[in-house]
Structure 1
Amino acid sequence: MRHEFPPSMMSRREALRTSALMALGATLLRDAFAQGEFAGKPVRVIVPFTPGSGSDTAARFFGERAGKLLGASFVVENKPGGNGLITISAVKGAAADGYTVLLGNISLMVVNPVMLKDISYDSVNDFVPVAGLYRGPAVYAVSPGSPISSLEDLIARSKQETVSVGTYSQGYQLGAAYLASLSGAKFQDIPYKGQAPLMSDLMGDQVQAALLDWGGAVSSIKAGKIRPLAITSVERHHAVPALRTVRECGYPEYDHYSWVGFFVKKGTPEAMRQTLAQAVEKIKQTEEARRFADESLGGELMLQTPAEVTAQIQQQIQRFKTIARQAGMAQV
């Protein structure tokens, strides 16, 4: 665990030494980047979402700071639509030279391979992780006046009567199906095109429950507009510390996160991938990055190594393929 010490606890000599080491690290990274022939040519970061989305914001935050560290220009290109296939096509069609970076997420790397038939890419074999950026949990919620008082109550009711659970992406649909597979619950999925209309219907009791993005729901939770039942993270969230996790409600293996990371096309020179990975890891060690993930996105930094990101993708694909088939959702 990394600890931050107040200036009063550090000697002047230690502070100067730390500053010198940080400056040396930045210089070495800039030199390595130049030796990798990145300098003077912009790095394209291809994002499968519209400007202003959380994933787009993360791409710009890390891209801008990596550019400053490495003396390069990072240019975000938004290519939304087509379940991310437009973005995938752009990255696959580019040279594997390190100048094109994919902002991959759980939808592109896990959900599409499970839910779409005959997709034109293999998320594990066509791309290589540079670094995970951040991940955010979801929350099961109901309206303030709902008779459903807890996650246990939601599951018990669903075994006696049809309980509608709204979701606004296939990732969250799979997340709800995962809980159903563990608990024996029978949820009726109600798909929405976005979280805003889903939350509006939830507040108006047009849908009985919902699985929502935590970052987008926490302000409404604090304002009492919706009532949370359980958060899908491994541990409780500091913003609402009394809210239990799904694991604490009796399902110790359950967690569900949305996540994003930087990837490059397979065949990219390893030295270039490593240089970019080192820059991103340096950024993630800062308090600024921690606050950004927490306060701006409602999540946390991804601390997994690139190899662990690959293993996570493989595990999630296998998990959700099984769940999707059991629920009659799979297209593959």
Structure 2
Amino acid sequence: MIRPFGVRRRLLAAGSLTVLTSLAGALPSTALAQGAYPDKPITIVVPFSPGSATDTSARIIAEKLGPRLNVPVVIENKPGASGTIGASFVARAQPDGYTLILTSSSTHSATPALFRKLPFDPTGDFTHVVRIATIPMMLVVREDAPYKSLQELVKATQAKPLNYAYGSPTSQIAGATFNTVAGAAANGVPYKSQPPAVTDLLGGHVDYLFADLSVVTSFMQAGKLRGLAYTGHARAKEFPTVPTLSELGYQKFDLVVWVGVAVPAKTPDAIAQKLNQEVTAILREPDVLQRFESLGMQVSPNTLAEHQAFAQSQRQVWTQRAVDAKIEPQ
């Protein structure tokens, strides 16, 4: 029997709908979900206090990411316990792309070397999405301190042990590594994050500090802090009179401070790739690049696969430096 064209078309359409429905049922849910991502606010967790390098980086990225994705992007600071409070919170979050973390060498490279047991696995519990920047560190003293050079500071510690502050796992390992390679005698004083450590340095409660350049730049420019040594491969453009550690003969100081973006493990790969592409595009914008560079941060985005490998290798490097400095895990 020959059916009228209209009837046949309706039957074909119904059959096509059945096929499409069957195919949709066979597709992974992540593929379907990706089409709608994002459709609600995104939270970026910062595991350190406002004013830290991770906090500053998060706010620069969030300001641009929200309009690009057409959803609100909220910053939530969760400081404490060397960044482990915020990191463990994100490790347990739903892997749906709506909870991100501003990772760093503190939380995901250095922390594993300082604690015997962590409430999260720095590599296994996260998908490391993209590196934002690397951050050289500056060894600083108060402007009115009697030490005019690194050699004078080291000599002073050998005459009488001084106190150095650290406000992050990276600054702790950096300070201990420096003391080891330079033969300096000093006692470490811990702080919840780097900004409070800077405050106490300014107040005369501690003698020196290894800090991210982005944290101390404004104080150095205001003439409140003096840099004695810089960890970059070349002198900082903002502070060309401060020598690098390698210039001063400390060739083994090879620690790299970095910040990046991560999501909980098992986040759909398509979402992780989208976030990588969006953040990379943001980092290529001239005004964003200028803002990071003004803070002494060297923008260096990488691919998803590259950043996964980078995070793993940096964990090994920082762990080895902690062992070399004879830091006992807690």
Same fold (TM over 0.5): yes
TM-superposed deviation, 1:275: 1.2
Partners of 1:305 and 1:131 in 2: CA distance: 6
Moved more, 274-283 or 71-80: 71-80
Structure 2 contact 79–192 (Cα < 8 Å) conserved = no
Aligned equivalents of 2:200 and 2:90: distance in 1?
A: 38
Cross-structure match for 1:219: 218
Deviates more, 1:232-241 or 1:191-200: 191-200
Structural mapping, 1:52-63, within 5 Å: 53-63=52-62
- Against the structure 1 CA distance between its residues 190 and 300, is the aligned structure 2 distance closer, same or farther, given a 3 Å change threshold? same
Offset of residue 277 of structure 1: 0.6
> C-alpha separation between the residues in 1 aligned to 2:190 and 2:146?
22
Q: 1:97 to 1:239 in 2, by over 3 A?
A: same
What is the aligned partner in structure 2 of residue 16 from structure 1? none
Confirm or deny that 1:137 pairs with 2:154.
Answer: no
Partner Cα distance (2:199, 2:268) in 1: 48
- Counterpart of 1:41 in structure 2 is 40
Paired amino acid for 2:307? V
- TM-fit CA distance, 1:201: 5.2
Task: Select the residue among 298, 301, 304 that pairs with 1:303.
Answer: 301
1:185 match? 184
Aligned to 2:328: 330
1:82 Cα deviation (Å)?
Answer: 4.0
* Equivalence map 1:35-184=2 (5 Å): 35-50=34-49, 53-159=52-158, 161-184=160-183
**1:11 corresponds to:** none
The match for 2:242 is: 243
Aligned: 1:290 with 2:273: no
Corresponding letter in the other structure for 1:279: E
The structure that has the greater radius of gyration is 2
Identity %: 33
1:276 positional shift: 1.2
* CA deviation vs aligned residue, 1:125-174 (integer Å, no higher than 9, x gap): 22111111233322112334444332233334444543433333332121
**Which AA in structure 2 matches 1:186?**
A
Match of 1:319 among 284, 306, 317: 317
Once the two structures are overlaid, the 10-residue window that deviates more, 183-192 or 97-106, is 183-192
- Runs of 4+, deviation exceeding 6 Å: none
Shift of 1:202: 4.2
TM-fit CA distance, 1:287: 0.8
**SS at 2:136's partner residue?**
strand
Q: Is the 8 A contact 1:33 1:272 kept in 2?
A: no
- Matching residue's letter, 2:138: V
1:262 has 2:291 as partner: no
Q: Give the length in aligned residue pairs.
A: 300
Q: What is the Cα-based RMSD across aligned positions, in Å? A: 3.0
Check conservation: 1:45, 1:100, Cα contact below 8 A: yes
Q: Which residues of structure 2 form unaligned runs of 5+?
A: 1-30
Instruction: Note the C-alpha offset of 1:280.
Output: 0.8
Q: Which ranges of structure 1 fall in alignment gaps of 5 or more residues?
A: 1-31
Q: Does the CA-based 8 Å contact 1:113-1:123 persist in structure 2?
A: yes
**One-letter amino acid matched to 1:126:** D
Letter in 2 for 1:191: P
**Distance (whole Å) between structure 2 residues aligned to residue 172 and residue 61 of structure 1:** 23
Contact between 2:164 and 2:187, CA under 8 Å: does it hold in 1? yes
String of CA shifts for 1:85-131, please: whole Å, max 9, x gaps.
33234323333232322221222212321112311211112211111
CA shift, 1:270, in A, is 1.4
**1:203 and 1:310 mapped to 2: Cα distance?**
38
Change (3 A) 1:131 1:33: farther
Give the distance between the partners of 2:304 and 2:181, measured in 1 at CA.
Answer: 29
Return the alpha-carbon distance in structure 1 between the equivalents of residues 43 and 198 of structure 2: 35
Matched-pair contact (CA < 8 Å) for 1:51–1:78: yes
CA deviation string 1:198-246 (max 9, x = no partner): 4455456554433233233233323433322111222211111121111
Query: TM-score when scaled to structure 2?
Result: 0.77
Distance in 2, Cα, partners of 1:298 & 1:186: 29
